[in-house]
Amino acid sequence: MKFQHLHADWAVIGHAAALLSTAGWLLLMPALAAGLWRVRQRLARERQQLQGELARIFEQLDLLRLDAQQGAIPVASPPEVPVLPAAQCDSRAQGLGGEYGQHASDYHTAARLAARGSSAAEIAERCGLVGGEARVLVALQQARARRAEAA
């Protein structure tokens, strides 16, 4: 046979395998690095979005605090109101006379106006709410809209 002079040199085979393995990793590294870079960029964008949302929440809290300091928001604790299921809330609010029934319908109207995209100033004026309450309703509606768009 012609190939009788060839014999297996395991040291050479081992070096060749190591060289091929290293070359494979060198070819694979750019793809891994690009994937990690994309993940890092996505996480950075998400962190910026969360920081922006957190900043808006703190801004709303500061506005509410300022309204409270200026006396626009009464500081006295509200009366104890029992928590009812949603179906009973609407019928109970309509059946109550005086102050509580009026406030409940004002909040329902304000919530509907916020859902239609009205500004906080317009809601406060039309429903007789404090500016901070109207801003909170608008902020909640915007958060619901963002969550609905994301889903």
Angle between helices 131-150 and 98-115 (to 10 degrees): 40
pLDDT in tens, 78-129: 555 454 454 444 444 454 444 444 555 677 888 888 888 888 888 888 888 8
Q: What is the spatial distance between Cα 143 and Cα 53, in angstroms, rounded to a whole number? A: 9
- Check residue 105 and give its pLDDT: 66
Closest CA to 109 of 130, 124, 96, 131: 124
Which of 62-71, 88-97, 132-141 is predicted least confidently?
88-97
> Looking at per-residue confidence, does 100 or 61 come out higher?
61
**Are 112 and 119 spatial neighbours (Cβ–Cβ below 8 Å)?**
no
CA 106, 111, 112, 118 torsion-angle sign: positive
End-to-end CA distance of the chain: 72
- Check residue 5 and give its pLDDT: 59
**Are 64 and 132 spatial neighbours (Cβ–Cβ below 8 Å)?**
yes
- Check residue 39 and give its pLDDT: 92
pLDDT, average across residues 125-138: 85
- Check residue 45 and give its pLDDT: 93
Token pair for 23: 């070359």
- The pLDDT of residue 38 is above 90: yes
> Looking at per-residue confidence, does 44 or 130 come out higher?
44
Largest CA distance in the chain: 112
Query: CA dihedral defined by 38, 43, 45, 51, rounded to 10 degrees?
Result: -170
